């Protein structure tokens, strides 16, 4: 699911300005000169303006409802992610507000067009239209908070990774230990790599080809084991690990040059090694003495061994 294409949500002022502008432009293009029945012509012109305002607003609200995905049809991962990162009841309430606004706009348009058509005094028709504008403005302003919250949600959702439902390998470890470098080596992708912590600002996705099939590879930002202070991307990473990972490749910086001690990395490794299959990959081995490598207590895999083991586990899952 790709949330990057979600378009911006206009606020109440922008919607009203757009609707009234289009109504004025359409009405100005309607020439009443030479009309024999001036009252009828005025009614048609004012009714047209009300129709345009209704059409613009209703279509905009309907577009908002269409642009956001139907939550009930989303994969479980995204459903949980929305509950984790959004005020989900407020999000759903805002959609209800859009539907309420559509109903109100359509109701008032019908009501006031009827009033215009029944009016015998052409000078009072303008007053009826002004009353309609006031009612509509009040309705749209009432949902301004909902519009603004949906725009906040859109910005948050744009950071969601585009993840497929398939066999998934999660490349995991602390910041700056070499996760993205490993992703590039395994998949041939070219995610950004830099020599400082927290390079990964989102969840990088790559694919490892296995014959005609693909294996999804996710490079998630390092987790600092501080759940009460996790940022949005870190929360996503935890959920990826919990919900999507069939296999975890734990990138272990044995040199400690990334800024994390062996002790801290051991704590993180212990945390994830309970329910998932974990393959350990040692990074930055060129920065340590051979004796250090020999003393490393965990089974670990080379790049080629990692590839072979992923293939084996994928085939095992198909059996």
Tens digits of residue pLDDT in 225-234: 555 566 777 7
Last residue of a domain, one of 157, 188, 205: 157
Question: How many domains does the chain fold into?
Answer: 2
Which among 189, 219, 211, 240 has a CA at the least distance from the CA of 315? 211
Do both 173 and 133 map to the same domain?
Answer: no
Q: Give the per-residue pLDDT at 34.
A: 53
Query: What are φ and ψ of residue 17, in 5° steps?
Result: -60, -40
Q: Answer whether residue 148 is part of any domain.
A: yes
CA separation for the pair 147, 11 (Å, rounded): 6
Assigned domain for 142 exists: yes
Is residue 4 in some structural domain? Answer: no
Confidence of residue 50 (pLDDT cuts 50, 70, 90): very high
Instruction: Flag whether 3 is in a domain.
Output: no
What's the CATH code of the domain at 289?
3.40.50.300
10 Å Cβ neighbour count for 277? 15
d(CA 124, CA 160): 53
Q: Is residue 2 part of a domain?
A: no
Q: What is the mean pLDDT of the segment spanning 34-38? A: 65
Token pair of 101 as six digits = 């606004």
CB 186 within 8 A of CB 144: no
> What element of type H or E holds 103?
helix 88-118
State the average pLDDT for the chain: 87
How do residues 59-80 score in pLDDT, each as one tens digit?
999 999 999 999 988 988 899 9
**CATH code for position 29:** 1.20.120.1190
Instruction: Kindly state whether residues 34 and 103 are assigned to the same domain.
Output: yes
The pLDDT of 273-299, averaged and rounded, is 88
Q: Give a yes or no: residue 289 inside a domain.
A: yes
Contact 72, 43 (CB under 8 A): no
pLDDT digits (tens, 9 = 90+) for 102-117: 999 999 999 999 999 9
The answer on 33 and 61 residing in a single domain is: yes
Report pLDDT for 36: 58
For residue 89, tell me if it sits in a domain. Answer: yes
Distance (Å, rounded) from C-alpha 219 to C-alpha 192? 11
Q: Is 261 found in the same domain as 178? A: yes
| Model confidence, pTM | 0.80
Judged against a pLDDT cut of 90, whether residue 187 lies above it is answered with no
Asked if 52 and 153 sit in the same domain, the reply is yes
Is residue 113 in some structural domain? Answer: yes
Q: Print the domain residue range for 117.
A: 12-157
| pLDDT tens per residue, range 115-166 | 999 999 988 999 999 999 999 999 999 999 999 999 999 999 988 888 888 8
Residues 285 and 143 grouped into a single domain? no
pLDDT tens for each residue of 3-19: 888 999 999 999 999 99
User: Is-contact 84 156, C-beta < 8 A?
Assistant: no
Q: In the chain, at which residue ranges do the beta strands (DSSP E only) sit?
A: 168-172, 204-210, 213-219, 247-253, 277-283
């Amino acid at each position: 699911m790709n949330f990057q294409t979600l378009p911006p949500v206009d606020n109440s002022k922008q919607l009203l300005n757009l609707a009234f502008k289009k109504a004025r432009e359409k009405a100005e293009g309607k020439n009443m000169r030479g009309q024999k029945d001036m009252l009828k012509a005025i009614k048609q012109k004012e009714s047209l303006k009300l129709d345009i305002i209704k059409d613009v607003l209703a279509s905009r609200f309907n577009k908002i409802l269409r642009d956001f995905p139907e939550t009930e049809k989303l994969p479980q991962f995204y459903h949980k992610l929305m509950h984790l990162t959004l005020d989900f009841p407020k999000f759903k309430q805002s959609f209800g507000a859009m539907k309420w606004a559509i109903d109100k706009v359509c109701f008032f348009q019908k009501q006031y067009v009827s009033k215009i058509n029944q009016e015998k005094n052409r000078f009072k028709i303008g007053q009826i239209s002004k009353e309609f504008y006031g009612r509509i403005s009040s309705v749209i302003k009432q949902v301004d908070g909902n519009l603004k919250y949906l725009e906040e949600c859109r910005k948050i959702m744009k950071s969601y990774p585009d993840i497929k439902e398939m066999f998934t390998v999660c490349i995991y470890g602390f910041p700056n230990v070499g996760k993205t470098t490993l992703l590039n080596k395994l998949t041939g992708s070219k995610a950004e790599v830099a020599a400082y912590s927290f390079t990964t600002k989102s969840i990088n996705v790559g694919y490892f080809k296995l014959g005609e099939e693909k294996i999804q590879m996710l490079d998630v930002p390092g987790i600092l084991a501080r759940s009460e202070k996790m940022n949005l991307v870190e929360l996503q990473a935890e959920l990826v690990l919990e919900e999507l990972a069939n296999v975890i490749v734990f990138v272990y910086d044995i040199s400690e040059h990334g800024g994390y001690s062996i002790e801290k990395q051991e704590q993180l490794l212990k945390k994830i090694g309970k329910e998932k299959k974990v393959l350990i990959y040692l990074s930055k081995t060129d920065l340590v003495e051979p004796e250090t490598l020999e003393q490393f207590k965990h089974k670990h895999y080379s790049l080629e061994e990692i590839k072979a083991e992923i293939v084996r586990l994928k085939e095992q899952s198909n059996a």
